[in-house]
Amino acid sequence: MLEALKRTFTFIHQHPFANRHLFRAYTKFFKWQFQSVFNKKFIVKPFVGDVRFWAKKGLTGITGNIYCGLHEFEDMGFLLHFLRPEDAFYDIGANVGSYTLLASGVVGCETLAFEPSQISYDVLKKNIALNQIELRVKAYNFALGAKTGFLNFTEYEGTSNRVVAANADIPFKKVEVKKLDDFAEASPRFLKIDVEGFETAVLDGASEMLKKENLKAIAIELNGSGNRYGFNEQDIHAGLTALGFKPYKYEPYSRTLHLLPIFTEYDTLYIRDLPFVNDRLKTAKAFKLWNQYI
């Protein structure tokens, strides 16, 4: 328990938004701890603008938004500044829907959300219904990979749910797998890929989509988890740069992209057509978070 609290407090202090509002962040954190102890059911919480979400103790994929405003401040801030209502956004590894709610609930664009965990998918659907964005979101309860078929997938590990490696001895269920290229009809402007090390397989099944000029940005987590499947994440970097993408870090306060020499151990933004992207970022409407406009 103490170790978990220490990790959370460190996260809050290092968070680029929460660390500017520490009193409010800790007030929200302790209020949530109190609520979740005495109420084991789902509780509706405000997000950005009029968007809300269902929260419950243990749903780490969304509860971080309660006390940090935007759990993943840089990438979520990029999404809110970059996307427009006429765009399509693909949320791959959607979990319970933080990015989907921002894209379709706040921005108002079309989202295709992919989440293979039945437990997370059910909460994702609840969040979509809560915000009445069913007409803007297509949610799919299967995994994406290099080819169609079936894979073994964990079910009770929250944001850490993943494809089960061949040599792993952990509980799993069999899930359907499809290719991202089979869902290119909306021609996405932005992809978010967070699949716990299975990113190589997802991209291998998206070779045609990645060539489309309309796709300008990819947020992807490359933290070494691909090693469990025998994937080399340097190959992802090489493949994306060959297609014209370069790795960046986004700073929402100044709306600037900073070029990186290589991907980071956290989420990395891969961008191409920098003039187009920068124009979007500079001309976007500010979003309001805890009475601050960003």
| Tens of pLDDT, residues 7-66 | 888 999 999 999 999 999 999 999 999 898 888 789 999 999 999 999 998 888 799 999
Q: Who wins on pLDDT, 3 or 198?
A: 198
pLDDT digits (tens, 9 = 90+) for 240-268: 999 999 999 999 999 999 999 988 877 89
Identify whether 92 is part of a domain.
yes
What pLDDT is stored for residue 29 in this prediction? 93
Residue 137 has pLDDT above 90, yes or no: yes
Section 74-93 average pLDDT: 98
Please check whether residue 204 lies inside any domain of the structure: yes
Residue 267 within a domain:
yes
Q: How confident is the model at residue 77 (pLDDT cuts 50, 70, 90)?
A: very high
Q: What is the span of the domain harbouring residue 198? A: 70-293
Axis-axis angle for helices 60-68, 2-14 (nearest 10): 50
What's the confidence (pLDDT) of residue 287? 97
**DSSP3 helix / strand / coil % (the chain, rounded to 5):** 40, 20, 40
* Predicted pLDDT of residue 167: 61
Check pLDDT > 80 for residue 156: no
- Whether 270 is in a domain gets the answer yes
161 is a domain residue: yes
Whether residue 26 lies inside any domain: the answer is no
The domain spanning residue 276 has which CATH number?
A: 3.40.50.150
93 pLDDT above the threshold of 80: yes
**CA–CA distance, 104 with 198 (Å, rounded to integer):** 25
Question: What pLDDT sits at residue 292?
Answer: 95
The chain-wide mean pLDDT, for the chain, equals: 92
| pTM, two decimal places | 0.94
| Contact between 130 and 52 (Cβ < 8 Å) | yes
With b for 16 or more beta-carbon neighbours within 10 A and e for fewer, the 117-152 pattern comes to: beebbebbbebbebbebeebbbbbbbbbbbeeeebb
Is 42 inside any structural domain? no
Q: What is the average pLDDT across 69-77?
A: 97
Domain assignment of residue 32, yes or no: no
Handedness of CA 222, 223, 229, 232 (dihedral sign): positive
For the chain, the domain total comes to 1
Instruction: Write the pLDDT tens digit of every residue in 157-210.
Output: 676 777 776 666 677 788 899 999 999 877 899 999 999 889 999 999 999 999
**In this model, does residue 140 exceed pLDDT 80?**
yes
d(CA 31, CA 234): 42
